[in-house]
Amino acid sequence: MDFTGINKILVIRLSSLGDILLTTPLIRSIKMKYPDTSIDFILKEQYKDLLIHNHYLSNLIEYKFSRTAKKGLFARLKKNNYDFVIDLQNNFRSAEIRRIIKARSAKFNKLTLEKFLLVKLKINKIKNVPPIPVRYSQALPDFCLDDSGLDLFIPNSTGAQLIDDETFIGFAPGSKHFTKMWLKEYFIELGNLFVKKGYKVVLFGGKDDLQTCYYLSTKIPGSVNLSNDDKLFNTAVDMKRCKAVVCNDSGLMHVACALRVPVLAIFGSTVKEFGFLPYKNKNIILENEGLYCRPCSHIGRDKCPEKHFRCMKELTPKSAYEKINLLLNSK
């Protein structure tokens, strides 16, 4: 895709945390190759901190759901005279935005049929499909990404709570869906293994994870509970001080990758083929490979449909401890 002569681009990705971070290689690659092209980005208001300090973007536009807000938004978008729209959301809301703007456009292929076949029939047509950032770029014919990873820009004014002279291991135990969450008792056992080795465990999470992080903090001696009310920059500035982060297949996994912190990523009901794996960052993925019922969903479920939850229960703290030590000791 040649953007020569294209002055203004709008990128659409309304949600969520990880999905938006995974757009950053494409944003950077376009801007670096075509520095005179202006790139705007539209997203839901609650995710603006992900990109608010991204210097590759010209404008950040907040999408709101009310009829009055949308009317004003659409009028503004029309006046911006975009030459090209890159739709990385590809749903009815993003299609509405494309129709309003009436510019040339490209959209992300969500591989809906292929995901359905893998989840429902265990027919794997996406075994060799590249990770999501590359798939985002494939919406643009013959466009290649640079070789760097994800971007997250933290303002210098954000103060850290952790002291640099200690050895920290981060735990991010949360996820939106139950079947993507490693067992709390496993996090506790793993945390105590690290405490015995002289590490200090730091707990990270947003407002949905406050109870889980508090509970873990009461069971892991000396642990530091830094869960908060979705204050991304506060989480990020302290996560950067960790030697590694243990996390589920979640948004904070991608935050750790954007910060270049090694991750042990624990995959339960979801699989790497969906493309949401750690991108261009030092990592090890712990998963129950070969389990007949995986994946049971491409986004996660609120309970195990097979009622055994083997995808997580059979991933023991001992195996996680061994893997993260490999990660810490590798170059």
63 with 190, same domain: the answer is no
Say if 320 falls within a structural domain: yes
Is pLDDT at 87 greater than 80 in this prediction? yes
- State the Cα–Cα distance between residues 121 and 192, nearest whole angstrom: 40
Q: Which candidate, 46, 78, 87, places its Cα nearest to that of 207?
A: 46
Query: Do 254 and 21 touch, CB atoms closer than 8 A?
Result: yes
Amino acid 165: pLDDT: 83
Q: Which domain holds residue 102?
A: 8-137
At a CB cut-off of 8 Å and minimum separation 6, what does 252 contact? 17, 172, 174, 204, 205, 235, 239, 245
pLDDT 10s digits, 154-169: 999 999 999 888 899 9
Structure tokens belonging to residue 238: 């302290």
Question: Is pLDDT of 301 > 80?
Answer: yes
Contact (Cβ atoms closer than 8 angstroms) between residue 233 and residue 50? no
- Tell me, yes or no, whether 294 and 192 share the same domain: yes
Mean pLDDT score across all residues of the chain: 96
Read off the pLDDT of residues 38-50 as tens digits, 9 standing for 90 and up: 999 999 999 999 9
β strands within 167-282, DSSP E: 168-172, 200-203, 224-225, 244-248, 263-267
Distance CA 62, CA 47 (A): 9
Residues 133 and 173 in one domain: no
| Banded pLDDT at 66 (limits 50, 70, 90) | confident
What domain count does the chain have?
2
- Supply the pLDDT for residue 69: 87
| Same domain flag for 231 and 132 | no
Question: What is the pLDDT, as a whole number, of residue 164?
Answer: 81
Over pLDDT 90: what percentage of the chain?
94
Mean pLDDT, residues 86-114 taken together: 97
Give the Cα-Cα-Cα angle 50, 248, 297 (nearest 5 degrees): 100
User: Does residue 133 sit within a domain?
Assistant: yes
pLDDT for 182: 98
- Answer yes or no: is 274 within a domain: yes
pLDDT of 267 > 90? The answer is yes
Structure-block tokens of residue 113:
């049929």
Q: Average pLDDT of 146-152?
A: 97
What does the alpha-carbon distance between residue 156 and residue 20 come to, in Å, rounded to a whole number?
22
Same-domain pairing of 121 and 35: yes
| Assigned domain for 148 exists | no
pLDDT tens digit string along 207-227? 999 999 999 999 999 999 999
Pairing of strands 244-248, 168-172: parallel
- Inform me whether the pLDDT recorded for 281 exceeds 80: yes
Angle made by CA atoms 259, 49, 138, in degrees to the nearest 5:
70
Q: Is residue 42 part of a domain?
A: yes
Pair 179, 324 in one domain: yes
pLDDT of residue 65: 84
The pLDDT assigned to 228 comes to: 98
Q: What is the pLDDT of residue 67?
A: 81
Q: Is residue 160 part of a domain?
A: no
User: Is there a single domain that holds both residue 178 and residue 88?
Assistant: no
Q: Would you say residue 2 lies in a domain? A: no
Residue 75 is part of a domain; what is its CATH number?
3.40.50.2000
Average pLDDT over residues 299-307: 96
Say yes or no to pLDDT of 234 above 90: yes
Note whether residue 261 is domain-resident. yes
Q: Are residues 113 and 39 in the same domain?
A: yes
Rounded Cα–Cα distance for residues 147 and 142 (Å): 16
Q: Of 59-68, 172-181, 270-279, where does mean pLDDT reach its minimum?
A: 59-68
Mean predicted confidence (pLDDT) in 82-89:
98
